[in-house]
Chain A
Amino acid sequence: MKRVMVMLGGMLLLSACTNNEKITISEQQAANAAYDLSYDLATKVIEAESYEEFRAARENLEAHRDAFRRDIGGENYLIFIEECNVILNEI
């Protein structure tokens, strides 16, 4: 149940972040978001099927990276970047 809630939360957050509004990440959701968002966003980058798709995924990932750095920082920001690196290195 908890996992489902976390996944739903991650998906809601992801869908909320696809528009051009400023991305904000709260401290309460930071730990889960660090893992969930890094996986979802970095996977989109490596699975892009065209340059345009890649550019959009990259911009989204970088915007979230900036939001993590600005709003959260510390250990959860580090986790986010580390997890992204692992996924980006899979390509």
Chain B
Amino acid sequence: MKKNTKNRLAAISAYTLLVIVVLLLSTRESGVTITSPEKDAARIEAMAATVRSEADLRDIELLATKYEIAYQHSLGGAVALHFKALVEPTLIAAGERRDEIRAEEEYLAQVEDTFDSSLDDLDKAWSMSLGSIEEINAEIEANNKQIAGIEADIEVKNNRKESLALEIVEAGYPEDMLTELGNIENSIVELEASVADINHQNDIIRLAYRLQKGEELPESHTPANVEESVEEGITVSIEPLVEVFYDIE
């Protein structure tokens, strides 16, 4: 009888030890020590409240996943699901916060780009060597002719794009025609960018004249089709920016 009890005690101890070892191994495997789903979820929530950067948020998401894995290995899927349900709202809020931070960072990068390119434009204008008014006018006219040529090319490509789109529908969306359409669209984007670049050059020339001579480039030397942009001054560096509400601190 005594021997039986001893054996039973030994078996219980061995089993308990095994459970402890398995628990320790599973928590070590995921790199976290679990307490209870509520306490660990509260810990994740407290950490999420102090998030300042996208990297912080990634760390929290990773930590929550580690806890979930640890619960799954140690206490089974039901507890892991319970933990997951507890932290899910926190992670969703954290994800939203991350998107917000990303938008803020993108907006800031745009604003900084505008700042730098505005100063670069001014630098170019100040350091540009200007010829006579006739030479400046000839340069602007040459640029305008180039723009007109590119715009005509864009129109041809736009027409081709429209007719090709109809042909694609009729032909049942064949791969080669879709590729051709994509190429035309890319080409149009590139040509439009070239037009913007040349217009930018003209703006810099006018700005250079204004800065260096202290007056506007005389109207009579300004081609009619660019009068509007002369009145506006140089606006090339200021792009429409996404409005973001900043709530840092």
User: Measuring CB to CB, which residues of chain A are less than 8 angstroms from any residue of chain B?
Assistant: 45-46, 48, 51, 54-55, 58, 61-62, 65, 74-75, 78, 81-82, 84-85, 88-91
Contacts and interface: CB of A to CB of B under 8 A. Distances in A.
Contact of B115 (A46, A54, A75, A85): A85
Interface in B5-54: none
B136 interface: no
Contacts of A58: 119, 122-123
A52 B126 CA distance: 9
| Majority secondary structure, A binding face | helix
Given A61-B119, A81-B115, A89-B118, 4 more contacts: A54-B122, A54-B126, A88-B119, A89-B235
Contacts of A61: 119
A85 B240 CA distance: 12
Interface residues of B, number: 20
Given A58-B122, A74-B248, A75-B249, A89 B111 contact: no
A74 B119 CA distance: 22
Contacts of A88: 115, 118-119, 122, 237
Give 10 nearest A-B pairs by CB, closest first: A88-B118, A74-B248, A51-B126, A75-B246, A89-B238, A81-B111, A54-B126, A85-B114, A81-B115, A75-B248
Given A89-B235, A91-B233, A91-B234, A78 B122 contact: no
Contact of A85 (B111, B123, B127, B234): B111
Nearest to A54: B126
Interface of B: 108, 111-112, 114-115, 118-119, 122-123, 126-127, 207, 233-235, 237-238, 246, 248-249
Contacts of A78: 108, 111, 246
B119 A91 contact: no
B122 A45 contact: yes
B118 A85 contact: yes
A58 B114 CA distance: 14
Contacts of A48: 126
Contacts of A74: 246, 248-249
B122 A89 contact: no
A14 B233 CA distance: 29
Contact of B122 (A62, A81, A91): A91
Contacts of B234: 89, 91
A46 B112 CA distance: 18
Given A51-B126, A51-B127, A82-B111, A62 B119 contact: yes
B207 to A, nearest CB: 7
A78 B103 CA distance: 13
A90 B237 CA distance: 12
B237 A89 contact: yes
Contacts of B235: 89
A75 B244 CA distance: 11
17 contacts: A45-B119, A46-B122, A51-B127, A54-B122, A58-B122, A74-B246, A75-B249, A78-B108, A81-B111, A82-B111, A85-B111, A85-B114, A85-B115, A88-B115, A88-B122, A89-B118, A91-B234
